[in-house]
Every structure is written in structure tokens, then in C-alpha cells.
Amino acid sequence: MDNGGVTKVSDGTLRRRPAQRRSQERVERMLDECARLLDEVGYDGLTTKEVARRANVPIGTFYQFFPDKQGLVRALGLRNLDAFLDRVTARLTERRLKNWTEAVDILVDEFVDMKHTMPGFGVMDFGEVLVTPGGPGLRGTERMLDGRRENNFVVADRVRALAVEVLGAPASPELDRAIVVAVEAADAVLKLAFRVDPQGDPALIAECKRLVRRYLEDYAS
């Protein structure tokens, strides 16, 4: 998937921020080719040299923006997370929810759709590199997005912000903890769904929605 715009990666992910449009486009091309190569050759086969070649940028330009392969993949994971939340937010503006917990279905549906349609997302969605569609994860990638915290804590922070700022969920330490648990539970069940069926077992995806929605309803009430 080509975002067609400026990548929105966190401060510190890129060696330097792409100030000019040409530099922004180069960064986007490198991320796009990284995603495609993950599908074609996997993480182990991914090389900075091939990414630069396919993106039509000098290898020196690659290292102006990314320190190494891991830094490139980290930026892709953060771009994936931004794209996911943008898609969810767009869906939420199209419909009126009776309760903010109804957003769980939209979150799960968008995640599954990205697994089906977004290059590289089946190998590496939000940081963790998967050996097979449903895992296990490659050792050492569980903290890809932020070396200080596991990927799911980073995802939970962003989902909590969406729940509070967009959906009006009641901000509290209890909600923070509940969102972390919900993200961990959804991650585990969705991995199971893609282990059972590489396209995602529909019954298990439905169970994921029911599990997380009912769990969060206690906090909504």
C-alpha cells in the first residue's frame, strides 16, 4: 500500500527528518519497497542494498535516513500503526456508535483487511516480525517500535488515545490497564485465527470481537 504522502514516524525513528518533498518521497518509496520485500523474501532476506536499489535511491541516501535494516522496519511498523488508526478513525466518522466499545468490531475488521491487502502487513504489522502468518514472532522483534517497551504497549497507548479523544471513553488508570489487556487478548486470538487459516478463520475473528467487546463493556458502564 502506498500512502502517497509523508510518513508519520515518531521523532527519533529517522536519522533526520525529510524536509523537502523529494526527500519525503524517497523515504516513502523505501518504506514501500521494504513492505513488498517482506512479502517476497521475508525479514531475513531483506537487505538495505536491495531496498535502496528498488526504491531507486543511492545507498548513501538510505543511511541518511535509516541507521540499518531494523530502523527501516521500525519506521514501517510505525507507519502501519498510523495507517491503521487513520482507517479506523475514518470509519468511526461514518457511523454513530451507541457505545464506544462498539468500535472494537471496526478495529478488528480494519486489522484483518490490512492483513489481506497491505503489502508486508502479514509479515510485520505493528513491529513484531512473524515467521508464519499466525506467528511465532521472530525473537528480538517484540520491542521493535520502542526499545523500552513491548510493541503491544505502544499500540495500546495509541488505541487508548483514540478511545478517549475520538470516542469519549472515560480516561482513567483503570481504562489504561483495560486497553492493554484488550490489545494483548486481541493479538493472541487474531494470531490463532491466522494460524488456523492463513486468511484468518472467520469464527475465531468473530470470537475475538465478542471477547474484547464484552470485556471492555464493564469499563464503559
pLDDT per residue over 22-67, tens digit each?
878 999 999 999 999 999 999 999 999 999 999 999 999 999 999 9
All cell numbers assigned to 196: 488456523
Question: What average pLDDT does the segment 165-192 reach?
Answer: 95
pLDDT of 214 > 60? The answer is yes
Same domain, 149 and 208: yes
Strand partners, 137: 130
Nearest to 182 by CA among 163, 200, 195: 163
Does 4 reside within a domain?
A: no
Question: Containing domain of residue 31, as a range?
Answer: 17-66
Give the pTM: 0.89
> 37 with 109, same domain?
no
User: pLDDT tens digits for 84-139?
Assistant: 999 999 999 888 888 899 999 999 999 999 999 999 999 999 999 998 888 889 99
CATH number of the domain encompassing residue 49: 1.10.10.60
Same domain flag for 103 and 25: no
Cell triple for residue 202?
Answer: 472467520
